[in-house]
Structure 1
Amino acid sequence: MQDFRLPDLGEGLPEAELVQWLVAEGDTVSLNQNIAEVETAKAVVELPSPYAGTVQRLHHAAGDTIDVGDVIVTFALEGETVDAAPAAPAEAGKGEAEAEPEEEKATPNLVGYGAAPRKSARPQRRARAARAGASASADTAVLEAAPHDAIVEQPIEQPVERPRSTPPVRKLAKDLGIDLALVEATGENGLITRGDVEAYAGHTGMADAQAAAAASTTPAPTSDERVTRRPIRGVRKATAEAMVRSAFTAPHVTTFQTVDVTATMELVASLRADRSLEGHRIGVMAVAAKAVCLALGRNPSLNAKWDDAAGEIVEHHYVNLGVAAATERGLIVPVVPDADAMTLVELADAIGELAATARSGKTPPAAMTGGTFSITNFGVFGVEAGTPILNPGEAGILGLGTVAKRPWEHQGEIALRDVMTLSLSFDHRIVDGAEGSRFLVDVASVLEQPGRAMLLR
């Protein structure tokens, strides 16, 4: 028997919420097979199995909050069988085969756990097998209840495997009275999905039973239910704590600049029409990110942090650009490392990858640390300007407003131009108003005339 404890999933986070089990008790798993999804304060993470063997016990249910270091699952390692009850002595000549002690080797895995090489302290037992046409539980009951001289039907050598599914699917099948062994699996690696159970219920005329089961597990709303309460946890809890800490630690100042970005929009259109750049989605966000990297090189106080413990201001000579992403789980800020060393195309690809990963909920905690400056695009929601709050440990964050056609003075005349408002929030302990203004003007000048980027370094 071997316990698996919840590992530290990054940045010293003390706990995680169990989203769902991907295995059930009795399932056989291989080394590094994903066994559960857990949600930390930063991301949803899949936990790989640190052992090859059988899931003996799941210690928590979906929705539980688990402290790092707590036991979450117990395994019986390969070559071991843990019987539910003592077996009666077998008839002479029909005893269980005994395997020679065998050394097992385990390789390191994704979370730093693994079974150490070991030798069995006792002979290993072969798993009990089931009779053809009967369930494993029935056979076990017969074998264990039989007197010493009873004649029991010879079992076949093919062990019965428990159908693979998740706990919610097992509950649905139980509510509908469906034997999962009869359901055809369409999921990955033979996993029975909710759709498989529902399809089986439909084919066998059990749709009404499914509706009844759903009704029995979902309480009907009462007339006085005028509010919905949701627990504060996961990303929402972490975001709230970070924003409060930032707002009441760093004195925020926000300044605005409205800029004619017609030339940037024309550049973006020409790049998207370039067949050699097909597959690279270059947009205003990427151009703004490039402008930020250039402007930070000229205004290093925006690319710094306040180290209260050391009594120092730490300026970074690289740009790890945080990109705020709105997801179903809340706001997260994954980071593009060394963004200042990237070309415009590379930046666009990196930002696109971050956004796709964030929307899927698979951003690892390590990808959301180490940022030196952040950018957020609330313009995608049609918002013109805002006062973004700093990420803790950063001196500045730039907000991009929506691009809209407006009458604008251009070359001495009024013309309809593409216009955007930039919103810069900065830590006034580190950045003076003049420095913040110069940075914002530098960003605006690149967006107004992208060719100016050739003059900056």
Structure 2
Amino acid sequence: MLREFKLPDVGEGLTEAEIIKWHVSAGDKVVINQTIVEIETAKAVVELPCPFEGVVSSLMADEGETVDVGKPIISVDTDEDDASAARGRGAPATRETALADDMVPSPPPESAEGAGTKKPERTPVLVGYGVKLSATTRRPRKSPAAAPSGTAPAVVPSPPPATPAPAPAPSGRVSVLAKPPVRKLAKDLGVDLTGLTGTGPNGSITREDVHAAAAPATGAPEPVVAPTPGYAAIAGAEREERIPVKGVRKATAAAMVASAFTAPHVTEFLQVDVTATMDAVRRLRELPDFAEVKVSPLLLVAKALLTAARRYPLINSTWAGDEIVVKRYVNLGIAAATQRGLIVPNVKEAQALSLPDLAKALAELTERARSGRSQPADLTGGTITITNVGVFGIDAGTPILNPGETAILAFGQVRDLPWVVDGQVVPRKVTTLALSFDHRVVDGEIGSYVLRDVGAMLQDPLRMLAWS
């Protein structure tokens, strides 16, 4: 039986995903729950398991292709004998068996009339870039009349066409080898790929092939740009790079625009002497409880914000139009820069964790994010966020709220600066904090109290014990 696996909704309201990497090819044997493909949604990279056991018939989407939810992405030949036996026992017809009946005819029962029936033919099909060979099944032509009893039916071949014609490419496929970005470039430049000879691997068509084919059509040579002293002249297709906006980047852009033009942002800044916090970090690293986990200043910043959120619950809430939803739990988001863009996974129920457990949770969260293994559950349900711009050597910024959240705290780099202590100017470890908040929910007074208290706890970490 030929069964199709359709792209599922692996997130909350997912509408499409990009095929990142196939782990199987046509002809491979697969088992149930075997990882077959990696997809990138608007939130994360997800590995999809196979729901069938059998042999891969064809891959129905290319790597790099964006596929709508509900569209078939792979077909698998399962055990046809089991399917036939089930129908023979009177099993009710299902969508899958109907599909099997249409694609692969059931063999007739072994009898005098059915002996020697020719099996369906299988023909190789080109399925896009990479030249994967798969099998599709055709119904054999039936004999015009049944053979006499006791003899095998004669197989009557269909007459050849009068004029041989090339077989058309399968629906939705093209018979040339080219990656999706190359196909798009050819479409934009009006170049017919079927008339090109590829110079890439396995004869695939490259961007250079497309540009070379498009050059004569322009009617005029590329203008020559005088080189600037100290720089090499760049000509042709390399003068610009076009990066498709999709996946995480597309989702982030939409979320940031929606947030910036929906919630009235206010950002306040505070410079803090964090010398005591840096000393505390060094001491924590020496404790057995933190022996197997990385301890950084971000840990104490997170603990300080959790404490402030308990003291001023309004900072950990959501504007819901006709009401404000104050949340007594904290799903603490940590903004993480990854190869696929900015994502904000969050630690669930962070307010209930001990300091060692919080350190472990933060370490695991950031490691999954940077390795591209964050799951949709990691990226949903956040209530308040920290963005650590200090790791990029930045003092401060005006962070944009995550949609649905009321506040975000930016933690700047820790630098040695002159500071007045007991009337004397001395070198101290100093950072800048920036708190953005939704002015519909939080007034300047509450926002100032939260930022002041976070700064006070980082200046003297013992206050976290006193206020917890």
Q: TM-score, normalised by structure 1?
A: 0.71
Matching of residues 105-184 of structure 1 within 5 Å:
none
Deviations along 1:78-102, one digit per CA (max 9) or x if unpaired, are 35599xxxxxxxxxxxxxxx99999
Contact 1:32–1:50, Cα closer than 8 Å, also in 2: yes
Equivalent residue, structure 2, for 1:347: 358
Matching of residues 13-52 of structure 1 within 5 Å:
13-52=14-53
Equivalent residue, structure 1, for 2:254: 241
Deviations along 1:309-346, one digit per CA (max 9) or x if unpaired, are xx100000111101100000000000100111111111
Please say which structure displays the higher CA radius of gyration: 2
Structure-2 separation of matches of 1:388 and 1:99: 63
Structure-1 separation of matches of 2:324 and 2:76: 50
Task: Tell me how far 1:243 sits from its aligned partner.
Answer: 0.2
Deviations along 1:204-263, one digit per CA (max 9) or x if unpaired, are xxxxxxx97499754459823311001110000000000000000000000001100000
Identify which of 317, 331, 346 aligns with 2:342: 331
Structure-2 separation of matches of 1:124 and 1:414: 96
Amino acid aligned to 2:73: I
Structure-1 separation of matches of 2:450 and 2:439: 14
Identify which of 268, 289, 296 aligns with 1:255: 268
Unaligned runs of 5+ in 2: 90-95, 110-118, 121-132, 135-151, 153-176, 179-198, 212-233
Structure-1 separation of matches of 2:431 and 2:56: 56
Equivalent residue, structure 2, for 1:195: none
Structure-2 separation of matches of 1:449 and 1:374: 22
Equivalent residue, structure 2, for 1:361: 372
Structure-2 separation of matches of 1:212 and 1:39: 26
Q: Which runs of 4+ in 1 moved over 2 A?
A: 78-82, 98-103, 119-125, 211-222, 273-277
SS in structure 1 at match of 2:240: coil
Contact 1:100–1:123, Cα closer than 8 Å, also in 2: no
Contact 1:282–1:345, Cα closer than 8 Å, also in 2: no
Task: Tell me how far 1:416 sits from its aligned partner.
Answer: 0.7
Task: Tell me how far 1:355 sits from its aligned partner.
Answer: 0.9
From the superposition, tell whether residues 39 and 216 of structure 1 become closer, same or farther in structure 2 (CA, over 3 Å). Answer: closer
SS in structure 2 at match of 1:256: strand
Contact 2:289–2:356, Cα closer than 8 Å, also in 1: no
Q: TM-score, normalised by structure 2?
A: 0.69
Deviates more, 1:70-79 or 1:439-448: 70-79
Task: Tell me how far 1:12 sits from its aligned partner.
Answer: 0.7
Amino acid aligned to 1:434: E
Percent identical among aligned pairs is 48
Structure-2 separation of matches of 1:213 and 1:53: 30
Unaligned runs of 5+ in 1: 83-97, 104-114, 129-135, 138-147, 149-170, 173-210
Equivalent residue, structure 2, for 1:400: 411
Are residue 442 (structure 1) and residue 453 (structure 2) matched?
yes
SS in structure 2 at match of 1:388: coil
Contact 1:17–1:40, Cα closer than 8 Å, also in 2: yes
SS in structure 1 at match of 2:428: strand
Contact 2:56–2:77, Cα closer than 8 Å, also in 1: yes
Amino acid aligned to 2:409: L
Are residue 412 (structure 1) and residue 412 (structure 2) matched?
no
Equivalent residue, structure 1, for 2:8: 7
Contact 1:79–1:124, Cα closer than 8 Å, also in 2: no
Equivalent residue, structure 2, for 1:64: 65
Equivalent pairs counted in the alignment come to: 355
Matching of residues 223-302 of structure 1 within 5 Å:
223-225=235-237, 226-302=239-315
Amino acid aligned to 1:266: D
Contact 2:274–2:430, Cα closer than 8 Å, also in 1: yes
Amino acid aligned to 2:264: P
Give the aligned CA root-mean-square deviation in angstroms. 3.4
Contact 1:261–1:418, Cα closer than 8 Å, also in 2: yes
From the superposition, tell whether residues 441 and 102 of structure 1 become closer, same or farther in structure 2 (CA, over 3 Å). Answer: farther
Structure-1 separation of matches of 2:79 and 2:426: 75
From the superposition, tell whether residues 223 and 214 of structure 1 become closer, same or farther in structure 2 (CA, over 3 Å). Answer: farther
Deviates more, 1:27-36 or 1:218-227: 218-227
From the superposition, tell whether residues 296 and 212 of structure 1 become closer, same or farther in structure 2 (CA, over 3 Å). Answer: closer
SS in structure 2 at match of 1:301: helix
Are residue 432 (structure 1) and residue 432 (structure 2) matched?
no
Structure-2 separation of matches of 1:100 and 1:216: 45
Equivalent residue, structure 2, for 1:380: 391
